[in-house]
Amino acid sequence: MLQIAKYCASGNDFVIFHAFHGADRSGLARTLCDRQNGIGADGLIVLIPHEQHDFEWEFYNADGSTASMCGNGSRACAHYAHRFGLANAQMEFLTGAGVIKAAVEGDMVQSDLTPPIVINDAISEHEMRWWLIDTGVPHLVTFDAGMDHFDIAMARELRHKYNANVNIAYVESNGSIRVRTYERGVEDETLACGTGMAACFYRASIENLVADNARVYPKSGETLYLGLDEGTITFKGEVKGVFETTWRN
């Protein structure tokens, strides 16, 4: 029997539990994340012990594939770790993209993401300008598409061509950003993607479209607070524990 928790962070939902050792849990991820026959989630996060950090995570997409990083997942698992006494309110943990620092204040959680890398800032596809940015995982970002007409077929094509998540973003007159994302592993548009919002914010910052701190709104409509602190992207927002239960493994 597994003791598991369901978490939601800005529209991304996760199944989370902790274990004593690492393992290949790709099949379990597919089962738990199935929205018809399982619990239903965008991903599975498993926390395992680590000698040098508060813990290490295993992150699985809903299709059982692994991902190095997930921004909303980093905030959800930090809340979980603090809630279940696995870490103090200030913590650091190891992901496939590197060490993440996080801070929990009630239901507000901030994580400091791994340093962003601009892989290509001169991509032209479908008469739009795209940047390919790695914020823990690769993201295509454009500001040239209409927010109300997110083309799933186009996003799916680009996702496979560049092996990256696909984001369209819009900077509003007040300096906030709206973002929609097609995610690998889910293979559809999701309500939010933390590393996708970070990639959009980073490009907007480089192009002087926003200040060093900005509100970012994913499709879920929730408010996220992103900032640049000496080259590190800070990512803050509310996290919600949905329920806790047991699962017969």
Q: Could you list the active site residues?
A: 70, 193
Distance CA 193, CA 177 (A): 13
Distance CA 249, CA 247 (A): 6
Distance CA 68, CA 223 (A): 24
Distances (CA, A) of 115 to 72, 124, 134, 206: 16, 25, 9, 14
| Torsion sign, CA atoms 8, 14, 15, 21 | negative
Q: Looking at this protein, which amino acid is placed at residue 203?
A: R
Distance CA 104, CA 54 (A): 14
In this structure, are residues 139 and 121 in contact, taking their beta carbons and an 8 Å threshold?
no
Joined tokens for residue 149: 């007409």
* φ and ψ of 50, to 5 deg: -145, 140
Q: H or E element: which one contains 213?
A: strand 213-217
Residue 137, Cα to own-chain centre: how many angstroms?
9
Question: Angle 194-206/71-83 helices, nearest 10 degrees?
Answer: 130
